[in-house]
Amino acid sequence: MIPKLSKPIDSLDRHTAVRNAVDVLFFPTALVYMEILAKLRAFGELFDGSFHYLFFLSLAMGFLLSGVSMLLSGKPRRLFYIITLALLAVWYSFHITYFSNFNTFFSWQTLGQAKDVTEFWREALAAAAGVWYIILAFFVPLIVFCSLEIFIVPDGVKKSFPLVGVSLFVFMLLFFLTLSDIGSSKVRTDEYTPFYYYTYIQNDLDQSYRYYGIFNTSRLDIKQLIFGAPVEKLDLDSIEPSVVEESHSDDSQKTQEYDWNMMDIDFDKAAASTNSEQLKTMDQYFKSLSPTRKNQYTGLFEGKNLVMFTLEGFSYRVIDPEFTPLLYKMSTEGFVFNNFYVTMWGGSTASGEYSNMTGNFYTTANCLELSAKTYQPFVLGNQLKSKGYKTIAYHNNDYTYYNRHKSHPNFGYKWKAVGHGLTLKKLCWPNSDLEMAEASVGDYASLDQPFHAYYMSFSGHAGYTFSGNIMSKRHKKDLLPKHKSLSSTNQAYLACQYEVELMLQEIVDKLDKAGKLNDTVFALTADHYPYPLGNDLLSELYDLPASGIRNNSDLYRNSFILWSPSMTQPIVVDKPCSTIDILPTLSNLFNLEYDSRLMMGSDILAEGDHFALLKINGWSWISTQGEYYASKKLFVPNADCKLSADEQKKYVKRMNAIVRAKTTYSKLMLDKDYYGHIFGKK
C-alpha cells in the first residue's frame, strides 16, 4: 500500500526546484546571450544560416560550466560564478574591441604580436569607447548573478552530483549532436562547409567566429596552437582545364613566341627529399600548374630604379586633380588598373603589407614575423639586390613593430625606421610621411648604382580626428571647399592622407634634381581600406549604400599606381586583380627570374583569364567572367560573359577549386618554408 503524503509539495520544495533550474541554466543562458551580442555587433545579422551551430555549441559549453560549478558548494561555487562570469565578460569585451579596432578577430596564433597591439592603446581606447554599451552588456550576467547570488547559491547549498550528471549529459548530447551535423557536411568538398570552418579555422578565422562564436572558436584556436592545425587534403584533379579560352592578341603566333615565366625545378626530386606529406602534396600541386607567359611588357622597366610604397589606410577616394595633383598624375599617366582590389586578409596592416611584398597571403598578423624565418628568393629586395641594386626599406614608426626589423632584412633590405637609423624632425601621432621622405631620399638620390627604396607609410593611420591626429590637424587648411560638406571624421581622414602627396612630391623633386627621375618607377598601393571608419562614414566616403557595405566588393576597390616618367602614354588594364598580383607583375616588368607557379598571385599583364581574390564573408572572387559571392554561393556573370549555363557551372567549380588550393597552400608556403624546401635552402 502506497502511503499518502501528509501534504502537497510545499513552497520550500518549489523554491528549491526553481533555484536548481536557475543554477543549471545560468551559464548556458549567459553564454548564448554573450554570443548573440558579439555576433550582432561583428556581423550585423543573427539568422544567417549558421546561428544554430553557434546556439547549440554555446549551450553545450554553458552546461559544461554548470556541471563544473555543481562540484562546488556554497561560497566556493559563488566565487566560481563571479570569477568565470567576469573573465567571460572581459574576454568577450576584448574580442569585440579588437574587432572594432582591426576589423578582424583575435587569434591566439598571433601571441607574439601582443606588444604591437598594446602600442596602439589610443585606438584600443577609441574602439572600446565606440562599443562601450556592448562592453557594459557583457557584464550584465555578472551583475545579475551578484544581485541574486544568495538565491541562486545560498550558503548552505551542497555539491549536487545528480545536477552534475544532468549538466554533463546535456552537454554531451548537444555537443556531439552538433558535431555530427557539422561532420555531415564534410563530403561537400566543392564548397566551404561548416566542417571546413570548424576544422581549418586559420584559413578563414572570421567565418569560424561567425559560425561558432567567440567561446568555441577560441577553444579551437588554442587547441590548434598547442597541438598543431590540420591541413586539408585537396583533390588536385578537381582543378580541371578552364572552359574559358585564352584571349590572345590579334597575332596569336606572336603570343606563342614568348617564353614561360618559370624555372627549371625538379619537383619530384624535392618531394623525394622530405618525409613531410604536406610538402610532397605541395610539390605535386605546383608541378601541376601552368606558368604564365612573358609578354610585350616583359622587361619594360628592366634596369630602372624602383620606389615602392605600402600606404597606411589609403583609399583611391583621396586622389583628386586639385587636392593631390601628383597622385592624380601618377594614377592616370602610367599603368591604369581599373579593377584593382585590396582585400582584408585578416591581420590588418601586417597581412596587407605581406601580400604586397610577397605575392602570397596570410590571414593573421604574425606573417611578417614568420617570414623572417623563411627563405624568400622572389621578393623585390632580394631579387634586385642580387642585380646590384642598393635596397633600403623605411617606416616612420617604431622599427620593431610587427617584427619588421627581422622580416625586412630577410627580404633583402637595409632596414631604417624610428629608433633604428631614421631620424624625424619631431615624433608625434602619427608621424609624418613627408619627414620620412626628407630624412631618407638622400640615401639613394645621389647613388651611382640603381636603387630600390621601399616605404611603409604611417601618417594615414587611424584615428581620424582633428584633435587626436596631428597630421589631420596639420593639413586641415589644405582641404578643398568641396571637402567641407563631408563629416568631420572623413575630413580628418582626407587631411592626414595628404601627407602621401607631400611625401611623393619630396621624392620626385629630389630625384628630378639628381637627374634620376626618368629612370625611376613608382609603385604604390594600400595595406587595407580605412576600415576603422563606421559604416555611415564609409558610405559617405565611397558613395555606397551603408547597409551591408562591408560585404560590398566596391568597398575593396582601390588603386595600384604604377608609373614612370619614361612612359609616353597610359596603359589601361581592365582585368580584375589584387595585391597578390603586384610582385609577379613587377617581376615580369623588371625581367627578373621567377617561377610564376610559385606565387598565389600572377602577372596581371599576362594573356588569359584573371581574377581578384576577396575575403568577404568567405572567399569570394571577381574574374573576367563575373563575380562570385561566397556567402550566397552565387555567381553573377558579366554582361559580356559568353559562357553557357552549363559552362558557368564548370567554370565556377574550377575557380572555387583554385581558390580552395590557394587558401590552403598560401598559408603553408610560410608555415612550411616552402621556398626553402623547393630550392634546398633549409
What is the value of pTM for the model shown? 0.90
What percent of the chain lies above the pLDDT cut of 70? 93
pLDDT digits (tens, 9 = 90+) for 425-455: 999 999 999 999 999 999 999 999 999 999 9
pLDDT digits (tens, 9 = 90+) for 584-637: 999 999 999 999 999 999 999 999 899 999 999 899 999 999 999 998 899 999
Tell which residue, 244, 232, 257, has the closest CA to residue 643: 244
Residues 75-100 as b or e (16 or more Cβ within 10 Å = b): eebbebbeebbeebbebbbbbbbbbb
Tell which residue, 478, 327, 452, has the closest CA to residue 394: 452
pLDDT digits (tens, 9 = 90+) for 147-166: 988 888 887 788 888 899 99
In the DSSP assignment, the letter for residue 550 is: G
**Residue 92 scores a pLDDT above 90:** yes
**Residue 293 scores a pLDDT above 90:** yes
Average of pLDDT values for 314-327? 98
Instruction: Please give the torsion angle defined by the CA atoms of residues 490, 496, 498 and 501, in that order, rounded to the nearest 10 degrees.
Output: -130
**DSSP-derived pairing of the beta strands 626-629 and 619-623:** antiparallel
Backbone angles phi, psi at 18, to 5 degrees: -65, -45
**Residue 9 scores a pLDDT above 60:** no
Rg of the chain over CA atoms, in angstroms?
A: 28
Grid cell in block for residue 37: 551580442
In the DSSP assignment, the letter for residue 557 is: B
Q: Who's near 676: CB < 8 A, 6+ residues apart?
A: 374, 375, 682
**Residue 196 scores a pLDDT above 60:** yes
Q: Lowest-confidence range among 106-115, 194-203, 424-433, 530-539?
A: 106-115
Average of pLDDT values for 217-235? 87
**Residue 387 scores a pLDDT above 50:** yes
**Residue 7 scores a pLDDT above 90:** no
Q: pLDDT band at residue 256, thresholds of 50, 70 and 90?
A: low
What is the identity of the amino acid at 480? Answer: L
Inter-axis angle of helices 205-227 and 51-69, nearest 10: 40
Q: pLDDT band at residue 14, thresholds of 50, 70 and 90?
A: confident
Q: pLDDT band at residue 190, thresholds of 50, 70 and 90?
A: low
Beta bridge partners of 390: 451
Q: pLDDT band at residue 464, thresholds of 50, 70 and 90?
A: very high
Q: Torsion-angle region of residue 401: left (phi > 0), alpha (psi -120 to 50) or beta?
A: beta
Q: What is the spatial distance between Cα 565 and Cα 585, in angstroms, rounded to a whole number?
A: 19
Is 351 in contact with 362 (CB distance < 8 Å)? yes
The pLDDT of residue 424? 97
Q: What is the spatial distance between Cα 389 and Cα 369, in angstroms, rounded to a whole number?
A: 25
Q: Where are the domains of the chain?
A: 11-227, 238-245+252-678
Q: What is the spatial distance between Cα 324 and Cα 311, in angstroms, rounded to a whole number?
A: 15
Helix (H, G, I), strand (E, B) or coil at 360: coil
Q: pLDDT band at residue 108, thresholds of 50, 70 and 90?
A: confident
Q: What is the spatial distance between Cα 145 and Cα 140, in angstroms, rounded to a whole number?
A: 8
**Residue 90 scores a pLDDT above 50:** yes
E strands, 508-574, are 520-526, 561-563, 571-573
Backbone angles phi, psi at 358, to 5 degrees: -115, -15
Q: What is the spatial distance between Cα 374 and Cα 367, in angstroms, rounded to a whole number?
A: 11
Query: 426: number of CA atoms within 13 Å, CB side?
Result: 4
Residues 169-199 as b or e (16 or more Cβ within 10 Å = b): ebbeebbeebbeebeebeeebeebbbbbbbb
E strands, 199-304, are none
Helix (H, G, I), strand (E, B) or coil at 612: strand
Q: pLDDT band at residue 126, thresholds of 50, 70 and 90?
A: confident
Helix (H, G, I), strand (E, B) or coil at 420: strand
Q: What is the spatial distance between Cα 3 and Cα 362, in angstroms, rounded to a whole number?
A: 72
The pLDDT of residue 333? 98
The pLDDT of residue 553? 97
| Cα Dmax for the chain | 113
**Residue 240 scores a pLDDT above 50:** yes
The pLDDT of residue 603? 98
Residues 646-671 as b or e (16 or more Cβ within 10 Å = b): eebebbbbbbbbbbbbbbbbbbbbbb
Q: What is the spatial distance between Cα 206 and Cα 203, in angstroms, rounded to a whole number?
A: 9
**Residue 249 scores a pLDDT above 50:** no
Question: What CATH number should be reported for the domain whose range is 238-245+252-678?
Answer: 3.40.720.10
**Residue 298 scores a pLDDT above 60:** yes
Please give the distance of CA 211 from its chain centroid, rounded to a whole number.
Answer: 18
Q: What is the spatial distance between Cα 433 and Cα 504, in angstroms, rounded to a whole number?
A: 9
Q: Who's near 596: CB < 8 A, 6+ residues apart?
A: 260, 261, 262, 291, 292, 584, 602, 603, 606
Helix (H, G, I), strand (E, B) or coil at 622: strand
Is 37 in contact with 139 (CB distance < 8 Å)? no
Task: Using alpha carbons only, give the angle 478, 480, 484 rounded to the nearest 5 degrees.
Answer: 110
Q: What is the spatial distance between Cα 120 and Cα 578, in angstroms, rounded to a whole number?
A: 28
The pLDDT of residue 10? 57
Alpha-carbon separation of residue 494 from 218, 314, 461, 502, 557 (angstroms):
37, 9, 11, 13, 17
**Residue 6 scores a pLDDT above 60:** no
Grid cell in block for residue 254: 606572336
**DSSP-derived pairing of the beta strands 421-422 and 577-578:** unpaired
The pLDDT of residue 95? 93
The pLDDT of residue 250? 42
Q: Higher pLDDT residue, 456 or 238?
A: 456
**Residue 112 scores a pLDDT above 80:** no
Q: What is the spatial distance between Cα 387 and Cα 379, in angstroms, rounded to a whole number?
A: 13
**Residue 579 scores a pLDDT above 90:** yes
The pLDDT of residue 251? 43
**Residue 359 scores a pLDDT above 60:** yes
DSSP state string for 161-225: HHHHHHHHHHHHHHHHHHHHHHHTTTT-TTS--HHHHHH-GGGSHHHHHHHHHHHHHHHHHHHHH
Q: pLDDT band at residue 188, thresholds of 50, 70 and 90?
A: low
Grid cell in block for residue 216: 568555441
pLDDT digits (tens, 9 = 90+) for 489-532: 999 999 999 999 999 999 999 999 999 999 999 999 999 999 99
